[in-house]
Structure 1
Amino acid sequence: MDRFNYQDLKNEEEFLRLPELDSPSIVRYVDFAEDIHFGYLVLQLCEYTLEEYIQDHLPDDTAERTLVLKKLVKEVLCSLQVLHDQKTKVLHRDIKPQNVLIDIKGKARLADFGISRRLKQGETTIRTSIAGTRCWKAKENINEKVNTGYKRSSDIQVAGMLVYYILSGGHHPFGEDVDCEYNVLRGRYSLQHLDDDVAKDLVEWMINENPNERPTVEQTLTHPFFWTDDRRVRYLKILGNEKEAENCRNADEELLKAISKHTEGKSFSEWKNKLPSELVQKLDGKKKAYPENTLGLLRFIRNLHEHYLEDAESINLMASFPDLFGSVFSLAKERGWNSRASLKKFFSSAPQI
């Protein structure tokens, strides 16, 4: 790098030398050298930027591609977790596709800490002149030219834009070019390139225009988007034990109306026709038949796993009803059920994917 950007280079070297950044999630520092004209920062070998990888190197197989994209999202957030840790206290301030590198094993790592800053003990905000890249700035950092306040939540909003960029195959939630920052300032976004309601929920949480409403990076990693199928089924089983599902045969009209918004056109709207008829008859015959709505299905799932485990293990619920979890999660969030003690535990630890 030439002398014009020398200070940014030295700043990056300083950060990469921090013991706290010696992590598998951060691009590894190797060496630094300089002459009268240039400075040279030597980093571990990486094959692509995230931008290059998304454009030209994703798997063709849809299922494999989905898994790779989810893995990339988690790796980027794990990188940010290292920076935001209470011991590290680093704000990246320039998160964008070009500043995520993909190593030779296909792992994503945050890089380019030239304009990063470290919070002092007890600090939550750093004030400097404006920093970052156009279209990759948080709302609160766009118009202020001097004395601009940067927080962890500022990184989070931009990381949310990057999560959408990854999952959508290269699109920006606030649009492209001249309209992008205008849309960020007004909270106008589109998630049209995402079909997964759970992924949409994660992105919307992160790009919230109110910094105080955005999650911490730790909270993003516990989001249901990252849950395994087994964890999602366990969540559905617990919901099936809640009073609303237990009372599925006598649910009140207001609840049924709210549920219908999450059911129309979904794979589970006529769920009895998509499960083995002998299994449905076996459980229906024990009491009054289960209603063919979401509450009835949740109660069916609970009782199936509670009393007919062998039958339960023969059914892949996530494959039979691919949109069930997302719809039920959205309903439970809307109704405030996820804050109950029986369900709250699902959101307190980050599962592996």
Structure 2
Amino acid sequence: MDIDEDLKESGAHADNSTVKPFPSSSDELNSLKWHKVSVRWSPQLDKLSNIDPQKISRLGTLNLVVHPDFQIAKGSDGTEVFLGLKDDGTEVAVKRMLKSNYQVLKNEEEFLRLPQLDSTWIVRYVDFAEDENFGYLVLQLCEYSLDEYIKDHLPEDKMPVLKKIVLDVLSSLSVLHSQNTKILHRDIKPKNVLIDVTGRARLADFGISRQLNMGQTTLHTNTAGTKCWKATETLVEGSAFGYKRSTDIQVAGMLIYYILSAGEHPFGKGFHCEHNIFKGKYTLEHIDDEVAKDLVEWMINKDPDKRPTVEETLAHPYFWTEDRRTEYMQRIGNLEEAENCRSADPELLKRLDHLADGKSFSNWKSKMPAELIQKLDGKKKPYPENTLGLMRFLRNLHEHYPGDRVDVMTMFPDLFGCVFKFAKMQEWNSRSTLRTFFQRVDIRT
């Protein structure tokens, strides 16, 4: 079937006032204006910009061709997404849905038009149109869904890219969950995160989102979302439940694990996935970073009251710079327990040694420059070769010999994760000298 026949069947040239064939006067037979931005969709957009004008449908200032050659996505609810060009040359994605079932599309339009959602982490609203049969939501054109990007388009050095995507996703959620917005997304999943041409992740698809009223913290509603991407409390039998921002947080935690593991789910796949979510049975075996595991585990907690807010996730040590991590360990080295490392409580040392067993910083003195060991050990009784001794050594090295630098993060890549995990276990992080490290800092770019 050619493009002309498809268009006749689709009703793209319906006899109404909003959808019109492209003008055919001699002055307007030139190609459509096109500002080239997309890399992935460039071949199709080139074809669209130069297609026979009689085959183009116009909706206001939008030009599109409803044909498989220009379809870029299809939803389970009957939504179809096509490439389009605005009269000014802007590349767009056009979501089309039958008017008999397009309240979801109108709902999404209402949310995306809110000034609060005009953000670099949210897919951008462009326009909305309708004809006799369909509604059309016109959006910023992105390159890939997160699902596609992770499976087929990651660079060789993937971890920094994946970490940036995690930060983008949480930043988008912070836009929704802020006190002046209070939007519950309710359908967080890989296909609803889009990657734009710059590589930034943007949250999309607000068709079943809801907004809390002023002073409201819970929305009582029927269950929503996608199989295997629902929070524990939404799987309870019954017609309605209390949906909170913490409900989004748990699903976002599943998504973060999916990102960092390049496609795995913490609660497994297939038939058992939702059963595992309900029971709180998960695995974090597909990621190695202990700090990342701590963040995910916190977010996917079965108990909604024990999950973090999105602001707390953005202040998590997983996102700290190396300088901030180094400063944190120096503060640990200044605690009374580290200061007394030579006569520390045996039970404390036993717990710490168990956590540090087999790590890169075991026998740390043999891996340090000998002259530094001699310099600091010579001042008083030698530092014990356990983790508390290392923390005190690093603190004193920084305080008394600032010119003698040691790249401890490279030398001992698993040290920070171990120290943070132990400090959390001992509740040291709630002390005044460490508590400020866990307040939100401006880490977004």
State if a TM-score over 0.5 links the two structures.
Answer: yes
How far does residue 349 in structure 1 lie from its aligned partner after superposition? 2.1
Gaps of 5+ in 2: 1-96
- Determine the structure 2 residue equivalent to 1:252: 345
1:194/1:200 contact within 8 Å kept: yes
- Determine the structure 1 residue equivalent to 2:410: 319
Task: State the alpha-carbon separation in 2 of the partners of residues 318 and 4 from structure 1.
Answer: 59
How far does residue 297 in structure 1 lie from its aligned partner after superposition? 0.2
AA paired with 1:162?
Answer: L
How far does residue 5 in structure 1 lie from its aligned partner after superposition? 3.6
316-325 or 33-42, larger mean C-alpha shift: 33-42
- Determine the structure 2 residue equivalent to 1:336: 427
1:245/1:299 contact within 8 Å kept: yes
Decide which structure has greater strand share. 2
Gaps of 5+ in 1: none
- How is 1:125-140 mapped onto 2 (pairs within 5 angstroms)? 125-140=218-233
1:5-32 deviation per Cα after TM superposition (whole angstroms, max 9, x unaligned):
4000000000000111111111110001
Whose relative contact order is higher, 1 or 2, with alpha carbons under 8 Å and at least 6 apart?
A: 1
Cα pair distance change 1:330/1:174, threshold 3 Å: same
Decide which structure has greater helix share. 1
1:63-108 deviation per Cα after TM superposition (whole angstroms, max 9, x unaligned):
xx11111100010000000000110010000000000011110000
- How is 1:210-249 mapped onto 2 (pairs within 5 angstroms)? 210-249=303-342
Task: State the alpha-carbon separation in 1 of the partners of residues 278 and 135 from structure 2.
Answer: 37
AA paired with 1:203?
Answer: V
| Residue aligned with 1:282, SS | helix
Task: State the alpha-carbon separation in 2 of the partners of residues 66 and 350 from structure 1.
Answer: 22
- Determine the structure 2 residue equivalent to 1:352: 443
Q: Between Structure 1 and Structure 2, how many residues are aligned?
A: 348
How far does residue 3 in structure 1 lie from its aligned partner after superposition? 2.9
Identity value in percent: 66
1:226/1:351 contact within 8 Å kept: no
| Residue aligned with 1:114, SS | coil
Task: State the alpha-carbon separation in 2 of the partners of residues 140 and 249 from structure 1.
Answer: 49
Matched, 1:93 2:186: yes
Matched, 1:179 2:272: yes
AA paired with 1:266?
Answer: K
Task: State the alpha-carbon separation in 1 of the partners of residues 238 and 227 from structure 2.
Answer: 13
Matched, 1:146 2:242: no
Task: State the alpha-carbon separation in 1 of the partners of residues 391 and 294 from structure 2.
Answer: 21
| Residue aligned with 1:204, SS | helix
How far does residue 351 in structure 1 lie from its aligned partner after superposition? 4.6
Structural RMSD (CA): 1.0
How far does residue 111 in structure 1 lie from its aligned partner after superposition? 0.5
- How is 1:48-87 mapped onto 2 (pairs within 5 angstroms)? 48-61=144-157, 65-87=158-180
Task: State the alpha-carbon separation in 1 of the partners of residues 185 and 101 from structure 2.
Answer: 17
Task: State the alpha-carbon separation in 2 of the partners of residues 244 and 336 from structure 1.
Answer: 13
How far does residue 144 in structure 1 lie from its aligned partner after superposition? 3.8
AA paired with 1:341?
Answer: S
AA paired with 2:125?
Answer: Y
AA paired with 2:311?
Answer: E
How far does residue 130 in structure 1 lie from its aligned partner after superposition? 1.6
Task: Give the TM-score, by structure 1 length.
Answer: 0.97
Task: State the alpha-carbon separation in 2 of the partners of residues 281 and 349 from structure 1.
Answer: 40
AA paired with 1:31?
Answer: D
Cα pair distance change 1:177/1:5, threshold 3 Å: farther
How far does residue 33 in structure 1 lie from its aligned partner after superposition? 1.1
How far does residue 4 in structure 1 lie from its aligned partner after superposition? 4.7
How far does residue 283 in structure 1 lie from its aligned partner after superposition? 0.8
1:22-67 deviation per Cα after TM superposition (whole angstroms, max 9, x unaligned):
1111111000111122211111120000000100111113xxx111
| Residue aligned with 2:136, SS | strand
1:130/1:144 contact within 8 Å kept: no
Task: State the alpha-carbon separation in 2 of the partners of residues 87 and 245 from structure 1.
Answer: 44
- Determine the structure 1 residue equivalent to 2:129: 33
Task: State the alpha-carbon separation in 2 of the partners of residues 35 and 179 from structure 1.
Answer: 44
AA paired with 1:11?
Answer: N
Task: State the alpha-carbon separation in 2 of the partners of residues 79 and 292 from structure 1.
Answer: 44
Task: State the alpha-carbon separation in 2 of the partners of residues 130 and 191 from structure 1.
Answer: 27
- Determine the structure 2 residue equivalent to 1:158: 251
- Determine the structure 2 residue equivalent to 1:309: 402
1:228/1:351 contact within 8 Å kept: no
- How is 1:266-305 mapped onto 2 (pairs within 5 angstroms)? 266-305=359-398
Task: State the alpha-carbon separation in 2 of the partners of residues 39 and 179 from structure 1.
Answer: 37
3-12 or 92-101, larger mean C-alpha shift: 3-12
- Determine the structure 1 residue equivalent to 2:291: 198
- Determine the structure 1 residue equivalent to 2:116: 20
Task: Give the TM-score, by structure 2 length.
Answer: 0.77
1:240/1:301 contact within 8 Å kept: yes
How far does residue 145 in structure 1 lie from its aligned partner after superposition? 4.8
Task: State the alpha-carbon separation in 2 of the partners of residues 130 and 211 from structure 1.
Answer: 16
How far does residue 148 in structure 1 lie from its aligned partner after superposition? 2.4
1:130-185 deviation per Cα after TM superposition (whole angstroms, max 9, x unaligned):
21000000000023452222100000000000000000001000000100000001
- Determine the structure 2 residue equivalent to 1:43: 139
